Structure 1
Amino acid sequence: MAISYLDHHLALLAHLRGILVALGEAEQVADESHALFMERFDELPAALADRPEDSHLGQELICQVFQRYPQIAHLVPRDLLWFFGGDCLHFMPDEEIALYQELDERRFEAEANDAPFDWNREKQLLALPEGSSRH
């Protein structure tokens, strides 16, 4: 069953939060600074639930994850970079941006036709090598 676009990204934020908590528990970061960052990070899901179109806080926090915690940059879900856009896109190569643009086009087309859209399934289909059956 496909979950909503927003719910998908809220789940990814929860996953990233778990990684950040584990980083703090492993004492790999300055505790006071990390605690303050986590307080701000915890505001994000509620802010998105109230105003999903307002991505400024998300952009800021995801970019800060890359700056503050470069050791976990490879663990940040790529979908979050695309979801928040803006400065987050600086952490994505052009080929990846093109893939996400295609995904969004498919999502918008499905929504316009009142058709179900499974973000993860479509992403897997787009990631198939050229010449593979995509539908």
Structure 2
Amino acid sequence: MANPHLQYHLQLLQHLRTILVALGEAEQVPEESHSLFLDRFDELLTLLPQDPLESQYLGQDLICQVIQRYPQIAHLVPRDLLWFFAGDCLHFMPDDELAVYQQLEELRYEAEQNGQPFDWHQHKQMLSQPAPGSAH
């Protein structure tokens, strides 16, 4: 069974797949290449829970391709997936965002080492809030 962190990212991938399918149904992309891309995406969804480390490169490749092949939906790619797959995906994240995710990862690791639960969303919200007294 996948751990909660992996399960969360699988849900994000499923959501992204739904967006990709809708894009194809709206006939905004060439059908044949889109269909082959969705097949590879489904392969990732199958392989990731079985072997997360081996699936890392396929995930990096596919997430980068989503951004490059489908720029009209690039803004809909969950930022958490960019961090999760890392590698070339990190090129699509600004430095300040990378710093927040690095802090999140350190907090998650610390909680895991101490056998404590970790709420990714709650910590992400706290780290993303502007510091008290900072002007907008």
Is TM-score (shorter-chain normalized) higher than 0.5? yes
The answer to whether 1:128 aligns with 2:133 is no
Tell me the equivalent position of 1:45.
Answer: 45
- Could you tell me which amino acid in structure 2 is paired with residue 80 of structure 1? L
Deviation at 1:22, TM superposition (A): 0.4
Deviation at 1:92, TM superposition (A): 0.3
Deviation at 1:53, TM superposition (A): 1.9
CA distance in 2, matches of 1:74, 1:101: 21
Identity of matched residues, %: 65
The answer to whether 1:110 aligns with 2:87 is no
Give a deviation string over 1:5-60, Cα, whole Å, max 9, x none.
00010000000000000000000000001000000000112111111123000000
Q: Secondary structure at the match of 1:32?
A: helix
- Could you tell me which amino acid in structure 2 is paired with residue 38 of structure 1? L
Q: Secondary structure at the match of 2:132?
A: coil
Tell me the C-alpha RMSD between the 2 structures: 1.1
Paired positions, count: 130
**Aligned ranges 1:19-58 → 2 under 5 Å:** 19-54=19-54, 55-58=56-59
Report the TM-score, using the length of structure 1 for normalisation: 0.93
Give a deviation string over 1:109-135, Cα, whole Å, max 9, x none.
000000000111111111111028xxx
Report the TM-score, using the length of structure 2 for normalisation: 0.93
CA distance in 2, matches of 1:93, 1:53: 25
Deviation at 1:108, TM superposition (A): 0.2
Tell me the equivalent position of 2:72.
Answer: 71
CA distance in 1, matches of 2:51, 2:101: 22
Runs of 4+ in 1 over 4 A off after TM superposition: none
Q: Larger relative contact order (C-alpha < 8 A, sep ≥ 6)?
A: 1
CA distance in 1, matches of 2:98, 2:92: 10
Tell me the equivalent position of 1:15.
Answer: 15
CA distance in 1, matches of 2:64, 2:130: 30
In the alignment, structure 1 segments of 5+ residues that lack a partner are none
Give a deviation string over 1:75-107, Cα, whole Å, max 9, x none.
000000000000000000000000000000000
